Amino acid sequence: MTQLGTLEELPQSYRDALTERNLVPLWPAMRSVLPYKVPTRDTSVTKWDYQSLRPLLMQAGELTPIEKAERRVLILANPGHGLENIQATPSIYLGMQLILPGETAPNHRHTPSAVRVIVEGEGAFTTVDGEPCKMERGDLILTPAGKWHEHTHEGDGPIVWLDVLDLPLIYRLNGSWAIEGELQNSDKVRDKSYSDYSAAGVVPNINLTRGSDNTPQLRYPWSKTRACLVEMAADHSDGLLSISYVNPETGRSIFPSIGFGAIMLRPGETQTLPKRTTPVIFHVLEGEGSMAVEGHPSTDGTPQGFVEKDTLSAPGYTHITLTNLSSSEPLFLMTADESPLHEYLGIF
């Protein structure tokens, strides 16, 4: 590999002349922007421990009323990207959001697309363009780009969910903005999305075509997804058990920018995932296990344990091995990644 010239080798007068004219020489930075064989991977192996995160989130509920927060969220920032950049991966934002009984996170809409994964609590619902979506543990609630949405809690105790947005992507495209609105009125008892699509929305990870328009389904109940994985396990004694959340009308990804899925590991099982270009987020829905990542400077490949409600990140171009540490109970994980975007760009 040829050793390219450095910036320091250029005369200072020449460098000053370039700077005055908003010019930058490419060759000193060539290896950093176009490295050989493996790209720069800022996403580091990270675990957000819910047991230690939760008290800080509850304290936020004491310190900041919803009127002063609009959205009471602690951002899960990946240190590889810098905490100030609010990135879990290059284009995915994660946050743990808290709403207390009797509170409403006010109605607004914005250009980034969002999914809410319910972590704990009951008695809350999200209204999306007039459709009330019940929020139960493990459910995916969608608020696609441009749709009005508000969150209301009528139950007892706190409710917490994991926000997953394509905010870093939209922000860096200078396309991120929001509009506030009046509270929504709805006479619907339940979300139309559930009644229309309750028997659809998840398919095995086989021959999927991604990158479609957003799905019309707004709520993906965990009970349906879990039952699908359990039924798959009954038919297959080995092999990776995984599904993708898809648009029920097209079979494509629910968002063009982020792909969502779920994985089940049988009791005591270990599975190495297919090596892929995209980083991946894991959220533990049920069970306990470990994750080992090989092929990245942020880890030496030592397995990292996790339990229910923890959230983890792993970079792309690595070997990811998941193990179910229970000998009697299955392990269930929700996944989020950039595969629809990678496929659209032709780099997947």
Q: Which amino acid is at 3?
A: Q
Tally: H helices and E strands in the chain: 8, 22
Q: Give the Cα separation of 72 and 85 in Å (integer).
A: 18
Cα angle value 320/323/329 (rounded, 5°)? 145
Q: Give the Cα separation of 16 and 183 in Å (integer).
A: 56
Rounded to 5 degrees, what are φ and ψ at 114? Answer: -140, 150
Q: Parallel, antiparallel, or unpaired for β 202-204 and 241-245?
A: antiparallel
- The architecture in CATH of the region 46-345 reads Sandwich (2.60)
Enumerate the domain spans of the chain. Answer: 46-345
Bridge partners (DSSP) listed for residue 337: 259, 280
Query: pLDDT (tens digit, 0 to 9) for every residue of the chain, 348 residues total?
Result: 688 999 999 999 999 999 999 999 999 999 999 999 899 999 999 999 999 999 999 999 999 999 999 999 999 999 999 999 999 999 999 999 999 999 999 999 999 999 999 999 999 999 999 899 999 999 999 999 999 999 999 999 999 999 999 999 999 999 999 999 888 876 666 667 767 776 655 655 544 444 446 778 899 999 999 999 999 999 999 999 999 999 988 889 999 999 999 999 999 999 999 999 999 999 999 999 999 999 999 999 999 999 999 999 999 999 999 999 999 999 999 999 999 999 999 999
CB atoms within 10 A of CB 7: 12
pTM strictly above 0.85: yes
**DSSP state string for 205-258:** SSS-----SPPS--EE-HHHHHHHHHHHHHH-SSS-EEEEEB-TTTSSBSSSS-
Q: Give the Cα separation of 43 and 107 in Å (integer).
A: 32
HSE, side-chain direction, 13 A CA sphere, residue 120: 15
The answer to whether 112 and 146 have CB atoms below 8 angstroms apart is no
